[in-house]
Amino acid sequence: MLRTLSIRNFAVVEAVEIELDAGFTVLTGETGAGKSILLDALSLLLGGRFETRQLRPGSERAELAAEFDLGDPTAARAWLIEQDLADDGPLLLRRTLDMQGRSRAWINGRPATLAQLAELGASLIDLHGQHAHESLGRPETQRQLVDAFGGFMALAREVASAWRTWRDAAERRERVERDAASFVAERELLAARAEELDALGATAEEWQALNAVQSRLANAASLLETAALGEAELIEGEAALNSRMAALIQRLRQAMAHDPSLAEIVALADEARIRVDEAGRALRAYRERLDLDPGELSRVEERLAAIHAVARKHRVAPEALPALAAETAARLALLTENTDTEALARAEREALSAFRSLSTELGAKRKFAATELAHRVSATMKELAMTGGRFEVALTAISDGASFGMETVEFQVATHPKQPLGPIARVASGGELSRLALAIQVVLADIGQVPTLIFDEVDVGIGGAVAATVGRLLKSLGARRQVLCVTHLPQVAACADGHYRVLKKGGAESVATTLIRLDAAAKVEELARMLGGHEITARTRAHARELLAQSAKSGSERVKR
């Protein structure tokens, strides 16, 4: 659960730190004091989008931080372990935002992305905004609420994936049937090219070898002449280098008798003479094996001409022909596979069967969940002064199915006994819609796994006894989950286990929001203010004490039951 929330230089908040306990906690204060700003900051800390206008005027940077007690093994702890971000102590989140629009985030002191904050935040806090009821009339919202209530969101995602697979398979089959003539023409072209390239059989190694052989054979006469000249100059001619070196070495040996230091030079010269002899003999061997067969040259040039001709035809370099052959074979295989109408039709049937199987399973689960959700919401409606009203979830089959399954989901409501059921958006008034949204949220929150629930003025549009009931519902919910609620209703605030008052201080030039944790006496004063406005009288204080007493009595009765 959320233990602390620290805010620096955010909107009208200069510096605020709130410590929270288990149970039901409320935030109250005058309109514009900044109650919802605290929740906006928490939303940003959990990966929300930041705008520079949210910085406190005159500040370079805002800083948000929170500490969570994860307690027993939870989805959040499992995620942290998976991401290698887990620590033994509490979970620490931090985010900074500056006037250039830059944002940085940390999880347990380690850098994190906003996507990671959002993913982790989904398992930490469930935030119900003050306008949540406005989306209640949308079909996708209603469908998601049923799936969340039933706990089969993962199955719904599988159905969506299976639907996309089926539609892709159907589109491939339809495209092939529609473009059959062009596919046949392309396949025939590719087949002819593949046959020609296979027949040629050119390889990169052969191309290199052919060029080397052609160069050698085309210049064989010149090579032979050069080899003969080299042999003569080195070892065979009258003035051959090896003979002249031998004579020089003999003279040096004779001189060694007068100067022994010449021995090293003689050794070097003798080594050079040996190398000259080896080079001459190597040239002789090269000359003897040099092939002057004109027929071989003709065959090589004919092969090269064939390769060049095919390369020109397909507008590629000769050395690129092997790659073109591989590419052609791969494209031909893919085209053959993708234009096999029987195989495509079979794949489409299999994908449709998988989609229908998953959709049937999802539909059965939705039917059960819809009945249970309707029962629970109808019961909660009675507690919210909508006695005789009823709530139902209508499932209507779709013949061809859709990405969300084989049925539509529609919330229907009757707000009093004589009213027929109708779509929620058309039947419920504004106040009734707010109460109905709260009933649904309470029911969903009761079965959820997220440890902390935040309600941001979802009690707008209600009052009196209904407001007291809302307070009791939230207090009851707080016995099982941590609940934080921004409210303007004293009947709701009176039911809270913890109470903070949000105050706005300052003048025309500087305004700041502060937070005060209320003790028992201060809570009476705040409830009296909420009941009577700025003028607090003995009567409003008495009424405030009465609200607190009624709340305590209601709580003890619930415990006894």
pLDDT above 80 (res 118): yes
Residue 276: what pLDDT?
87
Instruction: Determine the Cα–Cα distance for residues 133 and 127; give it in Å rounded to an integer.
Output: 13
Mean pLDDT of 522-550: 87
| pLDDT grade for 430, boundaries at 50, 70 and 90 | low
User: What pLDDT was estimated at residue 218?
Assistant: 65
Give the span between the Cα atoms of 374 and 65, in whole angstroms. Answer: 39
- By DSSP bridging, strand 91-98 and strand 103-107 are antiparallel
Cα–Cα distance for residue pair 511/128, rounded to 1 Å: 28
Distance CA 29, CA 80 (A): 36
Domain chopping of the chain, boundaries: 1-124+451-519, 184-338
Can you give the pLDDT at residue 408? 94
Mean pLDDT of 74-103: 88
Segment 169-175 mean pLDDT: 85
The per-residue DSSP string of 444-461 comes to: HHHH---SEEEEESTTTT
Indicate the angle between helix axes 220-231 and 204-218, nearest 10 degrees: 60
Q: How confident is the model over 220-245, as a mean pLDDT?
A: 76
Q: What is the pLDDT of residues 7-64, one digit of tens each?
A: 999 888 888 888 999 999 999 888 766 677 778 888 889 888 888 888 888 888 999 9
CATH number of the 1-124+451-519 domain: 3.40.50.300
CA 553 to chain centroid: 49
299 vs 422: CA distance, rounded Å: 90
pLDDT at 460 exceeding the cut of 70? no
Q: What average pLDDT does range 203-207 have in this prediction?
A: 82
Q: Which long-range contacts (CB under 8 A, 24 or more apart) does 544-550 make?
A: 544/490, 544/494, 547/468, 547/490, 547/491, 547/494, 548/494, 548/523, 548/524, 550/468, 550/494
Q: How large is the average pLDDT for residues 290-301? A: 68
In this prediction, residues 500-515 reach a mean pLDDT of: 75
- Rounded to the nearest integer, the mean pLDDT of the chain is 84
Q: Does 560 score more than 60 pLDDT?
A: no
What pLDDT score was predicted for residue 58? 83
Residues 353-409 have pLDDT tens digits of 999 999 999 999 999 999 999 999 998 888 887 778 899 999 999 988 899 999 999
Q: Within a 13 Å sphere around the CA of 198, how many CA atoms are in the beta-carbon half? A: 8
